[in-house]
Amino acid sequence: METWACIRGRVAVRSFTDQEVPEEVVLRVLEAGRWAPSSKNSQPWHFIVVRDRATLQELSRLTQTGPYLANAPMAIVVAMIGAKFPEADAGRAIQNMVLAAWDQGLGTCWVANFEQEPTRRLLGLPGDAVVITAFPMGFPTAEVAGRGKRRKPLAEIASWERFGQHRPRSEPAATTESL
């Protein structure tokens, strides 16, 4: 899939078919995280592939948005270890992974706010690990596949030169919304 189509078309997916995710697809997603940029190239991340049903259900009980995990065919846990900027570096790696998943026909969604210590214990993570997310991953059910997404208009979230200043040109911007 073209990069722009992937960025523009991706939506959060919270409902998955029972179909197993092939191992080579999982590996491609992990590689996408591996090749992400990080602060001083520190790569302070660890990814754990979870397919075990009992572990997925246990994970789902450790955060309020956990139900999305309980019925997913698998999840990837992203933990940061010894990171100076754990959230920013995680965000970059996770976005790479989310796009690599979508590029391969898979959906994901952001599940976070895990109880840290029980989650570390469940997964055998070291005491200084910060669990950022465990994102469920699978093939989307038909009902979510064609869903749109809502965003603020560009004029509201972008300025030129100074906050609140509009684009200097008077002609309308070429639309970049179409795929």
Site residues (CB under 8 A) for its own copies, limited to 64-83: 79
Instruction: Tell me the C-alpha distance between 136 and 69, whole Å.
Output: 5
15 lines the binding site for its own copies (CB under 8 A): no
Beta pairing partners, 150: none
Binding mask 134-163 for its own copies (x = CB under 8 A): ---------------xxxx-x--xxxxxxx
Q: Which residue has the tokens 């100074």?
A: 162
**Count of CB atoms situated within 10 Å of the CB of 150:** 4
4 lines the binding site for its own copies (CB under 8 A): yes
* Residue of the chain from 127, 146, 148, 164 that contacts its own copies (CB under 8 A): 164
Instruction: Tell me the C-alpha distance between 141 and 72, whole Å.
Output: 11
Q: Which residue has the tokens 């846990």?
A: 77
Give min distance, CB of 112 to its own copies, in A. Answer: 8
* Residue of the chain from 110, 116, 118, 141 that contacts its own copies (CB under 8 A): 110
Tokens of 170: 């008077």
* Count of residues touching its own copies (by CB under 8 A): 76
Closest CA to 75 of 56, 103, 102: 56
Q: Which is nearer to its own copies, 130 or 138 (CB)?
A: 130
Q: Which is nearer to its own copies, 16 or 25 (CB)?
A: 25
- Which H helix or E strand runs over 134? strand 129-138
* Residue of the chain from 18, 64, 124, 179 that contacts its own copies (CB under 8 A): 124
Instruction: Tell me the C-alpha distance between 90 and 44, whole Å.
Output: 9
* Residue of the chain from 68, 89, 111, 134 that contacts its own copies (CB under 8 A): 89
* Residue of the chain from 15, 34, 71, 116 that contacts its own copies (CB under 8 A): 34
Q: Which of residues 42-61 bind its own copies (CB under 8 A)?
A: 43, 45-52, 55
Instruction: Tell me the C-alpha distance between 80 and 50, whole Å.
Output: 17
Q: Which is it for strands 45-50 and 129-138: parallel, antiparallel or unpaired?
A: unpaired
Give min distance, CB of 68 to its own copies, in A. Answer: 14
